[in-house]
Amino acid sequence: MQKVTPEQQALISQLEQIAEGLSQTFSPFCEVVLHDLRDPEHAILAIHNNLSGREVGEPATELGLARIADPDYPQVIANYPNHFKDGRPVKSTSIGIKDASGRYVAALCMNVDLTLFRGLQGMLEQFGSFGSERPNESLESSGADSIRARIDQFAARLATTPRALKAADRRLLLQELKAAGMLDIRKAMDTVAAHLGVSRATVYSDSKG
């Protein structure tokens, strides 16, 4: 093990706090491991949300050894595919930590167990899938798309977005919609209010302006 300098020890101490904070934030799906690369034979200094079954004091991984051998090895390797011993798929990110001399002294690694997320993905895909029967039906009033398109065109002319329209602009918009007969469409006021991000009462008030 290399001689520990006060600067390195302070760095490792801060990393211990960061590792604990990350583990609490992403618990229980993300394992967070702090490796001390100054002691590759016993590199694992801390392991939070232990998903891999490893223990403190176990040796450095191949990636850790590569950093020890080459100070120019990439400092951040994010979102690479990995797996636990039992075959569970993992998404990993490894961040190498250098001291003031530019030498790797530690690595902070995060391993996300994808098993649950892939299960949820499968359930969501099944839930969101449609049957083979496709009747021609819409749950919104006819003409709502036309109203939204007209509002979008109006906002585009002013180089803004529908929800950013000022009160005076909204009044002009309502005048245009009224002149085009669009306010006679069923639930037109509800459609306009939802697309502008304002209340129905505000739309009624603007339409009288």
133 — pLDDT class (breaks 50, 70, 90):
confident
What the block records as the tokens of 194 is 């939802």
Closest CA to 60 of 6, 106, 128: 106
Cis peptide before 74 (omega within 30 of 0): no
pLDDT at position 141? 52
Neighbouring CB atoms inside 10 A of 54's CB total 16
Q: Is the pLDDT of residue 209 over 90?
A: no
Task: Tell me which of 33 and 6 has the higher pLDDT.
Answer: 33
In 3D space, the residue among 88, 93, 58, 55 whose CA is nearest the CA of residue 74 turns out to be 93
Contact residues for 104 (Cβ-Cβ < 8 A; gap 6+):
37, 67, 68, 71, 73, 96, 97, 98
User: Would you say 107 and 36 are in contact if contact means Cβ atoms under 8 Å apart?
Assistant: no
142, pLDDT greater than 80: no
Each residue of 7-60: pLDDT tens digit?
888 999 999 999 999 999 999 889 999 999 999 999 999 999 999 999 999 999
3-state secondary structure (DSSP) of residue 12 = helix
- Structural domain spans, the chain: 6-115, 144-208
- Domain 6-115: assigned CATH number: 3.30.450.20
| Whole-angstrom distance, CA of residue 21 vs CA of residue 94 | 16
3-state secondary structure of 37: coil
Residue 139 has pLDDT above 70, yes or no: no
Six-digit token pair at 126? Answer: 């099944």
> What is the tens place of the pLDDT at every residue in 74-122?
999 999 999 998 888 999 999 999 999 999 999 999 999 998 787 778 8
Distance between CA 66 and CA 98 in Å, rounded? Answer: 14
pLDDT at residue number 115? 85
What pTM does this model have? 0.61
179-198 pLDDT, tens digit each = 999 999 988 999 999 999 99
